[in-house]
Structure 1
Amino acid sequence: MSIHSVKRSQCHLAWDNSIPPVLTVESGSLVSVSCLDASNGQINSTSAVSAISSLVFSQLDQVNGPIYITSALPGDTLQIDVISIEPADWGWTGLIPGFGLLADDEEFKDPHLRIWKLDKERGVAVFDETKGIKVPLRPFAGEMGVAPGEKGAFSTIPPYKTGGNLDTKYLEAGATLFLPIEVEGALFSIGDGHAAQGDGEVCGTAIETPMEVTIRLTVRKDRPYTTTPHFYTSPKVKRISPTSDSNSGTDQLQAEEQYYGTTGVGPDPREAAREATRNMITYLNVQHGIDRVDAYMLCSVAGDLRMHEVVDMPNYVVGMMLPKSVFPSI
Structure 2
Amino acid sequence: MDMAPPDPRPLLAALGRRDFLRAAAAVTAAGGLVGCSASVAPAPVAATLPDGPLQPGVGDIPGDHYLGSDPADVRWGYVPAIGAAPVLTMRSGQTVTIDTVSHEGILEDQGRDPVAWFGRHGVAADGVLSDAVAVARDYRRTPRDFDADGPHVITGPVFVEGARPGDVLKVETLSAVPRVPYGVVSSRHGKGALGRTASGAPPAGITLDEVMPPPAADGRATGDPARYGNVSVFTAVRDGADGPEAYLPFGEGQEVSFGLRPFMGTMGVAHAAADAENAPELNSIPPTLGGGNIDIRLLGPDSAFYLPVRAEGALFHVGDPHLAMGDGEVALTALEGSLRATFRLTVCRPGEGTAPSVAFGYPFGETPDAWVPIGLSDPDGSTGGQGTDLDVAMRRAVVNALDFLQDDRGMDRATAYAYLSAAADFAVSQVVDRTVGVHGVIPKAHFRS
Tell me the CA shift for residue 298 of structure 1: 1.3
Amino acid at match of 2:177: E
**2:102 match:** 37
User: Equivalents in 2 of 1:120, 1:231: separation in Å?
Assistant: 31
Contact 1:126 1:135 in 2 (8 A): yes
Does 1:323 find its partner at 2:443?
yes
User: Equivalents in 2 of 1:75, 1:264: separation in Å?
Assistant: 20
User: Equivalents in 2 of 1:119, 1:230: separation in Å?
Assistant: 34
User: Equivalents in 1 of 2:146, 2:264: separation in Å?
Assistant: 21
Higher helix share: 2
Contact 1:77 1:220 in 2 (8 A): yes
Q: 1:26 to 1:40 in 2, by over 3 A?
A: farther
User: Equivalents in 2 of 1:40, 1:179: separation in Å?
Assistant: 30
User: Equivalents in 2 of 1:213, 1:120: separation in Å?
Assistant: 21
**2:65 match:** 4
**2:375 match:** 264
**2:119 match:** 46
- Match for residue 175 of structure 1 among 299, 303, 321: 303
**2:146 match:** 56
User: Equivalents in 2 of 1:272, 1:20: separation in Å?
Assistant: 32
Amino acid at match of 1:319: H
CA-atom RMSD in angstroms: 2.2
- Match for residue 364 of structure 2 among 206, 227, 230: 230
Contact 2:104 2:184 in 1 (8 A): no
**1:73 match:** 164
Gaps of 5+ in 1: 49-53, 236-257
Tell me the CA shift for residue 103 of structure 1: 0.8
**1:148 match:** 271
Amino acid at match of 1:323: P
Per-residue CA shift, 1:38-83, capped at 9, x if unaligned? 24734543357xxxxx993536212110011111111111111101
User: Equivalents in 2 of 1:38, 1:228: separation in Å?
Assistant: 27
Contact 1:30 1:214 in 2 (8 A): yes
Does 1:116 find its partner at 2:235?
yes
What secondary structure, in the 3-state scheme, does the structure 1 residue paired with 2:399 have? Answer: helix
What secondary structure, in the 3-state scheme, does the structure 2 residue paired with 1:160 have? Answer: coil
Contact 2:246 2:257 in 1 (8 A): yes
Mapping for residues 182-261 of structure 1, pairs under 5 Å: 182-221=310-349, 222=353, 223=355, 224-226=357-359, 227-233=361-367, 235=368, 258-261=369-372
Tell me the CA shift for residue 197 of structure 1: 0.8
**1:245 match:** none
User: Equivalents in 1 of 2:238, 2:300: separation in Å?
Assistant: 18
Tell me the CA shift for residue 158 of structure 1: 1.0
What secondary structure, in the 3-state scheme, does the structure 2 residue paired with 1:271 have? Answer: helix
**1:307 match:** 428
294-303 vs 130-139, greater mean Cα deviation: 130-139
User: Equivalents in 1 of 2:316, 2:106: separation in Å?
Assistant: 22
Contact 1:40 1:59 in 2 (8 A): no
Tell me the CA shift for residue 194 of structure 1: 0.7
Per the normalisation by structure 2, the TM-score is: 0.63
Per the normalisation by structure 1, the TM-score is: 0.85
User: Equivalents in 2 of 1:158, 1:214: separation in Å?
Assistant: 24
Tell me the CA shift for residue 112 of structure 1: 1.7
Amino acid at match of 2:182: W
- Match for residue 93 of structure 1 among 166, 177, 185: 185
Higher strand share: 1
Does 1:103 find its partner at 2:195?
yes
Percent identity for Structure 1 against Structure 2: 30
What secondary structure, in the 3-state scheme, does the structure 2 residue paired with 1:184 have? Answer: coil
Tell me the CA shift for residue 107 of structure 1: 5.0
Per-residue CA shift, 1:100-128, capped at 9, x if unaligned? 11111445233222111112663210123
**1:136 match:** 259
What secondary structure, in the 3-state scheme, does the structure 1 residue paired with 2:344 have? Answer: strand
**1:23 match:** 88
Q: 1:101 to 1:55 in 2, by over 3 A?
A: farther
Q: How many residues align?
A: 300
Tell me the CA shift for residue 284 of structure 1: 1.3
167-176 vs 150-159, greater mean Cα deviation: 150-159
What secondary structure, in the 3-state scheme, does the structure 1 residue paired with 2:152 have? Answer: coil
User: Equivalents in 1 of 2:97, 2:173: separation in Å?
Assistant: 10
